Copies of this chain bind each other. A is one copy, B any other.
């Protein structure tokens, strides 16, 4: 079996570290794994359950000989260096938003549009975390009857904002529990014992960039810009895994029974839906799992052909590292 040289750019970040774990957990055929980060992190050891890994300083010449380069850095860094990695002959899988809406770059969720990955010209974009789990959950329904409208509210974990988000939550919780006044350094307001209805920058139309990602990326991945979508994205004091309350309207009547069947048979979806205490997925249930959970399935009583549901997934895994590695697996299996 062919083995592959893989590099991770931004290996010390929240997503970078999960990429190392996921590559091992899924037994990706690694020839050599190169971990790259800024000069500041060079020489640092990343400890994982799969062994310890030494971080090297990022430079463009490290792209030589790579089969896959995962970018888990900022959009501006990806914009500058991802094309260089592609020029060096690697396939880039980029976790930033830099190329997601670029017509020449496929935006791929393997359960939804795997064929798009094969059209790449050196760069493949990994979608936004909250978008990925939503399209995994909704595409099976969309295949049965086109979705006309989506209204979604999110409950997003602090690790979506990186290691700093986790630190800020834990530090603030400790401060509040000790009776101290918590310091706000990373988020725009205190996140401990609070929720913040603001993720990424505000746009002209009053939505945030995170909310518009859920619109524009869903259109591109599901290949249907006729779906009307409104999102409210909210940060909650959860460490890991995003939750979404989703209402949809479909062209034809599907109903609750049929919807439950569709979800149950869908790839990588696990239905937890008992109308009793605990009979639904929560972020803690989804943390460090590879599936997208769907629960609270019911007919939306506020419209015709409506369904309401609750969707939870580990946004560091399915929403980032896992989806990226699945894209690489797709290409490997086509080889």
Residue numbers of A with Cβ under 8 A of B are: 149-151, 153, 155, 170, 173-174, 177, 188-190, 193-198, 202, 205-207, 215, 228-230, 232, 234, 236-239, 243, 245, 247, 256, 275-278, 280, 282-285, 295-303, 306, 308, 310
B188 touches A243 (CB 8 A): no
Contact A243 B297 (CB under 8 A): no
**Do A234 and B245 touch (CB < 8 A)?**
yes
Copies of this chain held together in the complex: 2
Q: Select A236's contact among B236, B278, B285, beta carbons within 8 Å.
A: B236
CA distance A210 to B245 in the complex (A): 15
A166 CB, nearest partner CB in chain B, Å: 10
* Complex Cα gap A238–B303 (Å): 31
Q: In the complex the two chains form, is A198's CB within 8 Å of B238's CB?
A: no
Instruction: Give Cα distance in the complex from A177 to B178, angstroms.
Output: 12
Which B residues are in CB contact (< 8 Å) with A230? 247, 300-303, 306, 308
**A245 touches which one: B170, B202, B206, B232 (CB < 8 A)?**
B232
Assess the A302–B155 pair: CB atoms within 8 A: no
- Asked whether, in the complex, the Cβ of A278 is within 8 Å of the Cβ of B189, the reply is yes
Q: A256 to B283, alpha carbons, bound, how many Å? A: 34
* B283 and A194 form a contact (CB under 8 A): yes
Most B CB within 10 A of own CB, among A153, A215, A283, A300: A153
Contact (Cβ within 8 A) B296 A197 = yes
Residues from chain B with Cβ under 8 Å of A237 in the complex: 193, 236-238
CB-defined contacts of A194 to chain B, threshold 8 Å: 238, 282-284
Q: For residue A309, which residue of chain B has the nearest CB? A: B232
Which one of B197, B207, B310 lies within 8 Å of A301 (CB-CB)? B207
Known: A155-B236, A275-B206, A284-B190. A301 touches B228 (CB 8 A): yes
Name the B residues within 8 Å of A306 (CB-CB).
230
For A150, list chain B residues within 8 Å (CB): 302
Distance (Å) between the CB of A215 and the closest chain B CB? Answer: 7
The answer to whether B310 touches A151 (Cβ under 8 A) is no
Bound Cα distance A174, B239 (Å): 15
Q: List 15 A-B contacts (CB under 8 A).
A: A151-B302, A155-B236, A173-B173, A174-B177, A177-B177, A188-B278, A194-B282, A194-B283, A195-B283, A197-B280, A197-B295, A198-B280, A207-B301, A232-B245, A234-B243
- Complex formed: what's the CA distance from A155 to B238 in Å? 13
Which residue of chain B is the closest to A149 with respect to CB atoms?
B302
Nearest residue (CB) in B for A300 is: B230
Residues of B within 8 A of A298 (CB): 205-207
| Known contacts A205-B298, A300-B230, A197 near B256 by CB under 8 Å | no
In the complex formed, the residue of B with least CB distance to A304 is: B228
Inter-chain contact B198/A256, CB cutoff 8 Å? no
Instruction: Tell me whether A282 and B195 are in contact in the complex, defined as CB-CB below 8 angstroms, given that A155-B234, A245-B234 are known contacts.
Output: yes
